[in-house]
Homo-oligomer: A and B are copies of this chain.
Amino acid sequence: MAGKAEATPASDRELVLTRLIDAPRRSVYRAWTEPELLKQWFAPRPFTTPVAQLDVRPGGASLVVMRDTEGNEYPNRGVFLEVVENERIVFTDAYVKAWEPSERPFMTLIATFEDEGGKTRYTARALHWTAEARKAHEEMGFHEGWGQCADQLAEVARKI
């Protein structure tokens, strides 16, 4: 598959997932930032991602809608805090747009893309405001869900 999934969180409020992806950083970054590519991997199959609106710049808003097999939709809104092309994306659900606070600030996601032996080390760190939120996120299936999506991301990145 796409390399090891282990990584060490820096605190009890953090969850981390990492993959070694056999594709250049540029491809992994594109899969993260281009709506038509993100739709192909963002939801764990058989869920789908019918909507992806991404304004990828600091302060830019995003809306990603996931759909389950019964047609229920799950909208995710957030704002990008930091964007370094091909290297790093920081995103939070604490705002629905710049700078309107969301109903519930749950997490900040830091995605990084690094060269490693001709492949790309992809790491996703989810930072939560409380240890309880981290625990809830873990119990919601962070590792399984994000793990499956990381494998789907690798698939997309390899073929572009």
Contacts and interface: CB of A to CB of B under 8 A. Distances in A.
Contacts of A82: 58-59, 98-99
Interface in A127-147: 127-129
Contacts of A100: 127
A101 B81 contact: no
A73 B95 CA distance: 30
B101 A127 contact: yes
Interface stretch (A36-44, A102-110, A113-121, A151-159): A102-110
A17 interface: no
Nearest to A133: B101
A100 B81 CA distance: 12
Given A58-B58, A90-B99, A99-B110, 8 more contacts: A13-B101, A59-B82, A81-B81, A81-B98, A81-B99, A82-B98, A92-B99, A99-B127
